[in-house]
């Protein structure tokens, strides 16, 4: 029997898959990394290319141009903004610099949260959302779980990998309730797909609220790495003073600034992504999976008990050149869950056909 080759623990890994499977990178279908199916805007690509000759010089040491561009675009105080090489840089910077006594992590969640806390020596507890309740956040229950030593509460909106969105009014209530004890850090890496759920226009009213924003998912530039943090100016100044210099390259800075001007791209995304998400959800439901409602560019689906486990399904798809994200390492989820990115229609049809073949061969659920 052919040995199972598992895809990487994180999404992505197209280069590795192409190498191991003997495929051209463009022949690999990547449903494991949740990137805008429209791809990179042409103006963003052009900006990155045009910036390459300037890479003979050091980039801006503090990404000041991008900070000002973000401030203008979102109507924010520049002193409240800290650009970074993707939001993951900020996930590690926050606990290292702000040093909370203890953290409370809302799960399921991106695995780098726990790694960043552990590397900073910050003990953490978890508050698990229930799939049977649609991953709905109960603010009263969360506040009851905030012990006396908790000084940081970390969650994502929309959630990853579940995709559920939390109303901004509810998060503001949390920030207010925690104001004398803890920071509330909200990872809005996918909020551009559901901007009505963002707290960007409210963050200035809360001294304990930090938002993490990514430009890599929505504008399809994960290889360039760009994002930013928004928070109280005094806290942002502390973070800025502690971070390493030159973390954003000259092409990344140029591309990130061009993203902010991509109005037509945002309008097209707002129309296309929800339609593709609905089509994928309907097709997966037709295969017998339980699909959880999502507000971003990915869906969480639970496999039928009669189907193979998620790691086995991911491995079989991998051998066909299709990458998906098995969610067994997203506690409290188990090996029945898959996260699937929203992709162009033809790619989604190929994924669904491959899943149907796998399920039919297993004799477990309808194909």
SS3 content of the chain, % helix, strand, coil (to 5): 45, 15, 40
**200 and 345 share one domain:** no
Model pLDDT for residues 36-62, shown as the tens digit of each residue: 999 999 999 999 999 999 999 999 999
Same domain as 157, residue 82: yes
Residue 8 maps to a domain? no
Distances in whole angstroms, Cα of residue 18 to Cα of each of 23, 33, 313: 5, 15, 19
Q: 366 pLDDT exceeds 90?
A: no
**Same-domain status, 188 and 109:** yes
Mean pLDDT score, 188-210: 97
Q: What's the confidence (pLDDT) of residue 186? A: 98
Which tokens in the block code for residue 323?
Answer: 């990458």
pLDDT band at residue 3 using 50, 70 and 90 as cut-offs: very low
pLDDT of res. 4: 43
With a cut of 70, say whether residue 334 has pLDDT above it.
yes
State the pLDDT at residue 12: 80
- 95 and 82 in a common domain: yes
Asked if residue 230 and residue 104 are part of one domain, the reply reads yes
pLDDT surpassing 50 at residue 7: no
Question: What is the pLDDT at residue 364?
Answer: 53
Phi and psi at 95, nearest 5°, equal -70, -30
| Residue 109, in any domain of the structure | yes
Residue 5 has pLDDT above 60, yes or no: no
More confident residue, 75 or 367: 75
Judgement on whether residues 104 and 130 belong to the same structural domain of the protein: yes
Domain at 326, CATH number: 3.90.1150.10
Query: For residue 168, what are the domain limits?
Result: 42-260
Which of 208, 140, 212 lies closest to 175 in space, CA to CA?
208
Question: How far apart are alpha carbons 36 and 220 in whole angstroms?
Answer: 6
Residues 76 and 128 in one domain: yes
Give the DSSP H/E element, type plus range, for residue 236. Answer: helix 233-242
* Structural domains counted in the chain: 2
> What is the rounded distance in angstroms from the CA atom of residue 7 to the CA atom of residue 15?
11
CATH code for position 240: 3.40.640.10
105 and 252 together in one domain = yes
The mean per-residue pLDDT over the stretch 337-347 comes to 98
What is the residue-wise DSSP string for 238-304? Answer: HHHHHSPS--S-HHHHHHHHHHHT-HHHHHHHHHHHHHHHHHHHHHHHHTT-EEE--SSSEEEEE--
Residue 340 domain-assigned (yes or no):
yes
Do residue 254 and residue 270 come from a single domain? Answer: no
Residue 206 has pLDDT above 70, yes or no: yes
Residue at a domain's end among 232, 260, 288: 260
- pLDDT, tens digit (0-9, with 9 covering 90-100), for 274-331: 999 999 999 999 999 999 999 999 999 999 998 999 999 999 999 999 999 999 999 9
Look at strands 325-326 and 337-341 and give their pairing: antiparallel
Residue 7 lies in a domain: no
Give me the percent of the chain exceeding a pLDDT of 70.
96
Q: What is the pLDDT of residue 236?
A: 98
Across 245-272, average pLDDT:
97
pLDDT, one tens digit per residue, over 59-108 is 999 999 999 999 999 999 999 999 999 999 999 999 999 999 999 999 99
Flag whether 367 is in a domain.
Answer: no
**Could you say which of 260, 283, 315 is where a domain stops?**
260
In a domain? residue 35: no
Q: Is 21 found in the same domain as 49?
A: no
Q: Is pLDDT at 204 greater than 50 in this prediction? A: yes
| pTM reported for the whole predicted model | 0.94
Mean pLDDT of 323-344: 96
Mean predicted confidence (pLDDT) in 103-119: 96
- Domain end, chosen from 227, 260, 293, is at 260
Domain assignment present for 6: no
pLDDT of residue 9: 65
Is the same domain home to 270 and 286? Answer: yes
Tens-digit pLDDT profile for residues 132-153 = 999 999 999 999 999 999 999 9
332 and 234 in one domain?
A: no
Q: How much is the pLDDT for 292?
A: 98
Is residue 178 one of the residues assigned to a domain?
A: yes
- Indicate whether 32 pLDDT > 60: yes
């Amino acid at each position: 029997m052919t040995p199972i080759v598992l895809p990487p623990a994180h999404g992505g890994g197209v280069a590795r898959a192409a190498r191991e499977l003997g495929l051209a990178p463009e022949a690999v279908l990547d449903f494991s990394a949740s990137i805008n199916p429209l791809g990179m805007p042409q103006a963003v690509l052009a900006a990155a290319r045009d910036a390459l000759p300037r890479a003979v010089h050091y980039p801006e040491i503090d990404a000041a141009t991008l900070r000002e561009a973000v401030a203008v675009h979102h109507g924010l105080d520049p002193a409240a903004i800290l650009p970074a090489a993707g939001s993951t840089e900020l996930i590690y910077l926050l606990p290292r610099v702000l040093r909370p006594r203890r953290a409370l992590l809302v799960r399921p969640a991106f695995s780098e949260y726990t790694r960043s806390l552990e590397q900073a020596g910050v003990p953490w507890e978890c508050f698990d959302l229930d799939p049977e309740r649609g991953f709905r956040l109960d603010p009263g229950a969360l506040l009851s779980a905030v012990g006396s030593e908790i000084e940081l509460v970390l969650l994502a909106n929309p959630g990853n990998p579940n995709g559920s969105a939390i109303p901004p009014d509810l998060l503001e209530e949390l920030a207010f309730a925690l104001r004398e004890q803890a920071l509330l850090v909200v990872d809005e890496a996918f909020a551009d797909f559901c901007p009505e759920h963002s707290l960007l226009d409210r963050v200035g009213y809360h001294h304990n609220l930090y938002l993490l924003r990514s430009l890599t998912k929505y504008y399809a530039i994960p290889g360039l790495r760009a994002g930013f943090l928004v928070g109280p100016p005094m806290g942002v100044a502390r973070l800025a003073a502690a971070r390493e210099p030159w973390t954003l390259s000259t092409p990344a800075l140029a591309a990130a600034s061009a993203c902010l001007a991509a109005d037509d791209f945002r309008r097209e995304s707002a129309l296309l992504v929800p339609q593709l998400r609905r089509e994928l959800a309907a097709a997966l439901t037709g295969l017998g999976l339980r699909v959880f409602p999502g507000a971003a560019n990915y869906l969480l689906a639970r496999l039928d008990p009669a189907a193979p486990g998620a790691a086995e399904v991911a491995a079989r798809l991998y051998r066909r050149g299709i990458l998906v994200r098995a969610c067994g390492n997203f506690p409290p989820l188990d090996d029945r869950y898959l996260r699937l990115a929203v992709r162009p229609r033809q790619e989604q049809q190929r994924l669904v056909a491959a899943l149907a073949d796998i399920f039919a061969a297993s004799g477990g659920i309808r194909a």
